[in-house]
Amino acid sequence: MASKNKKPLMLVATVVVVGGALLALVFTSFTDSLVYFHTPTEIAQKPQLAGKKVRIGGMVQTGTLMETPGTMKIAFEVTDGDKRLQVKYDGIKPDLFREGQGVVVEGIYRPGQTFEADTILAKHSEDYMPVEMSQEGIENSRKNILKSMQ
């Protein structure tokens, strides 16, 4: 009689142990692969990010972009309007990358040094549309309105 009562208890214990192990595996795999997005102000306030791979987002400060002639090396500052962070990058820069534009850079943060980026992601406005299409769309809309009024 006692073994009948132990079966449901063993089943629940097994489910709890296996479920906990699966959750632990999922949690550890996500924490190793996740790279969080920080602003330059947040980076300055979090010394625990030193030596870790991080993403920094902000605007490319106007007047700070410097390119080394004959190489793909560039240096610029990322700002969130409060703090600035000097960034160096060696590689092909995205087409949309320019001063005054939103950017996300990924690399290793070392306090007191220039941020060494290994990836640059240029951001664009959410209402992006090629100039040709926008002008053509305006003309088409204008023609349609004029036709409907006649």
Binding residues: 124, 128
For the record, the structure tokens of 16 come out as 């709890």
| Residue of 56, 67, 52 lying closest to 106 (CA atoms) | 56
Q: How many residues does the chain have?
A: 150
C-alpha 109 chain-centroid distance: 15
Residue with token string 């090396």: 73
Question: Where are the strands (E) in the chain, listed by range?
Answer: 37-38, 53-60, 66-67, 73-79, 84-90, 102-108, 115-122
With beta carbons less than 8 A apart as the criterion, state whether 43 and 109 touch.
yes
Virtual CA dihedral for 55, 57, 115, 47, nearest 10 degrees? -70
Residue numbers belonging to the annotated binding site for heme = 124, 128
